[in-house]
Amino acid sequence: MPDAARLTRLVPYAVVAAGAAYLYSVAANIRYAARAGVLGPDFWPKAILALTLVVCAYKIVATLVPRRRGEEAGVLEDLIEESAAHRGGPAAAPAAESHLWLLLGGIALSAGYVWALPKLGFFTATVPYLAAFIALGGYRRWGVVAALSVLGTLLLLFFFMKVVYVSLPLGQEPFLQVTLLLMQLMGIR
Q: Which amino acid is at 37?
A: G
Task: Give the pLDDT of residue 96.
Answer: 61
pTM of the model: 0.56
Residues 145/135, Cβ–Cβ less than 8 Å:
yes
Residues (pLDDT < 50) of the chain are: 70, 72-73, 76
Q: Which residues of 94-111 are buried (b: 16+ CB within 10 A; e: fewer)?
A: eeeeeeeeeeebeeebee
Task: Give the pLDDT of residue 148.
Answer: 94
Cis peptide before 41 (omega within 30 of 0): no
In tens, the pLDDT along 29-60 reads 877 777 777 777 778 788 899 999 999 899 88
Task: Give the pLDDT of residue 73.
Answer: 47
